[in-house]
Amino acid sequence: MKLRNLGLALTVYGIMTAAANAQAVSPGGGHDVVPTGKGGWNLPAASDLAKRGRPKPPPPPTANNGINYHNGPVMLGTVNIYYIWYGDWSGNSAVDILSDLAGSIGGTPWYNINTSYYSGSGRQLKHVSNSVAFQGSTTDDYSRGKSLSDDDVRDVVADAISSGRLPKDTNGVYFVLTSADVSELSGFCSNYCGWHTYDKIDSANIKFAFIGNPDQCPSACTRSRYHSPNDNIGADGMASIIAHELSESVTDPQLNAWYSSKGDENADKCAFTFGNIYTAPNGAGANVQLGTRDYLIQQNWINANGGSCGMSYP
């Protein structure tokens, strides 16, 4: 089954469907490139990995906050997180590290950035809320093998719902987290580190995301020079990717709400920028404490005061 266009995550060419070339009218009268769900990562070519230095800062924001509203819905109220641990996660501390992330990211200054996004117009604006709940997880023992297509990812989510292992939740985001021996054939590690999209599953509009394991490509999908605040480079890299895809899923769940003229969603505009770094207890670099853990989470785009990347709002 062919999926709808994948929501932005980091720029992709391999799986764009016809609608990826469609255009939406921007507030300024021009045309904005419609997001695919895989855009914005801008991963370096393999030959550039060794010489890559500190990432360049995002370009200066424009007067309209640098991101446009295209009349689509955002996710309102408490957004529920569900994990599907795909592959072999036995003995991996990532299970605790990323479960702690899901349970603590809501209600924080970082996630509050998403409340600067809304749906509606005039006096009818409905803003994203600073509320997230981790509602549980399930496992999948390589039901689609170790080489996944985008359709396979969708089917992993559908199986988890139809089997009753996870509930059907139209206000949830389902994350397929893959172990280090699992590849995603449309461009993981080369064109993106994760992506999000939506599809009709069991007659419901379901939002879901693919989160690859950066243990496969730490030079591409982590900032390994900062090491790992939780002593697990793959899990710490996935933490930032999850935060990226969660923000985009909430503010652009159907790929028709918030994105820039270039098709970048909010987290795309700040990918691999981290703001102020401090030293975690283990000596690694971190920039935010969520719950009892230190993480290195990318900045997000603040849709206010001209627009900028930041770690908190207001």
* Chain segment 150-204, per-residue pLDDT in tens: 999 999 999 999 999 999 999 999 999 999 999 999 999 999 999 999 999 999 9
Whole-number Å distance between alpha carbons of 307 and 287: 21
Whole-number Å distance between alpha carbons of 275 and 287: 7
The closest of 173, 171, 146, 176 to 159, measured between CA atoms, is 176
Q: What is the pLDDT of residue 64?
A: 86
Task: Identify whether 58 is part of a domain.
Answer: no
Name the amino acid, one letter, at 311: M
Whole-number Å distance between alpha carbons of 291 and 110: 13
Task: Identify whether 88 is part of a domain.
Answer: yes
pLDDT digits (tens, 9 = 90+) for 48-104: 443 334 444 444 444 489 999 999 999 999 999 999 999 999 999 999 999 999 999
Pairing relationship of beta strands 288-290 and 293-295 according to DSSP bridges: antiparallel
Whole-number Å distance between alpha carbons of 35 and 25: 13
DSSP 1-23: -PPPPPBPSS---TT--GGGG-E
Task: Identify whether 169 is part of a domain.
Answer: yes
Q: Which has more confidence, 58 or 213? A: 213
Task: Identify whether 11 is part of a domain.
Answer: no
Strand partners, 137: 83
- Residue 274 token pair: 């981290």
Whole-number Å distance between alpha carbons of 245 and 25: 24
pTM (2 d.p.):
0.86
Task: Identify whether 150 is part of a domain.
Answer: yes
314 upstream amide cis, omega within 30 of 0: yes
Where residue 226 falls among pLDDT bands split at 50, 70, 90? confident
For the cut 70, the answer to whether the pLDDT of residue 207 exceeds it is yes
Whole-number Å distance between alpha carbons of 282 and 285: 9
Task: Identify whether 55 is part of a domain.
Answer: no
Give residues with Cβ within 8 angstroms of 200, minimum separation 6.
206
The closest of 82, 80, 99, 93 to 165, measured between CA atoms, is 82
Q: In the chain, how many domains are there?
A: 1
The domain of 196 spans 18-44+68-310
Q: What is the pLDDT of residue 30?
A: 52
Cβ atoms of 73 and 126 closer than 8 Å: no
Give residues with Cβ within 8 angstroms of 64, minimum separation 6.
27, 28, 307
Task: Identify whether 131 is part of a domain.
Answer: yes
pLDDT digits (tens, 9 = 90+) for 93-119: 999 999 999 999 999 999 999 999 999
Task: Identify whether 201 is part of a domain.
Answer: yes
